Amino acid sequence: MATVEEGLKSQVRNIETKYGRPISSWADLIRASGKTKHNEVVALLKSKYGMTHGSAHRVALIARESMGGGSELANVDPGADPADRLYAGKKSAVRPIHNRLIAGIQSLGDDIEIAPKKGYLSLRRKKQFAMIQPAATRVDVAIILKGEPTTPRLESAATFNALFTHRVRVGSVEEVDRQLVGWLRRAYDQAD
């Protein structure tokens, strides 16, 4: 089963292949540009070098970290799987659900940015389309699916997180099924 760390390493390899430079070369280029703000670096990579948003974001994070420009995870080992921090302690029991979700998400496309936040992972394409947040006995998957009716399983996210339209409470590995991956696919497609 793929981990977030493996997914990030794969994303970096794909960026290096697609854009023809190692990450260290991109970091040198960014350093030479004098740009230090994340959004400025992303805009530079997209406009001048034709990177997709997800690729530019990942390169900017890595480059800024190497230059000591922080992110909210600046004090975290950049080689560490950010999910390790999310699933520490009591939440470790739901880590297999997370791993299955990541495998399903990675099947959607190679332009997905998995951005670690303090208590969850944000999933972006050109814009955020979902997030994964561990709870004590389940993993919550919040999705942006405008116009999609709610169901007992695909519930409203209004009381959970107003940035999303729906939430799915995933209590077992078996619940990461075609239906859930299908909802994620539709949200991914809408985020293009």
Instruction: Tally the C-alpha atoms within 13 A of residue 30's C-alpha that lie toward its C-beta.
Output: 32
Please, what is the average pLDDT of the chain?
Answer: 85
pLDDT band at 76 (very low <50, low <70, confident <90, very high): very low
What confidence tens digit (pLDDT) does each residue in 8-64 have? 777 888 888 889 888 888 888 888 888 878 888 888 999 999 998 888 888 888 877
Report pLDDT for 69.
Answer: 53
pLDDT of residue 73: 35
Q: How far apart are CA 37 and CA 144, in angstroms?
A: 28
**Residue 144 pLDDT grade (very low, low, confident, very high; cuts 50, 70, 90):** very high
- Mean pLDDT (whole number) for 68-83: 51
Per residue in 155-184, pLDDT (tens digit) is 999 999 989 999 999 999 999 999 999 999
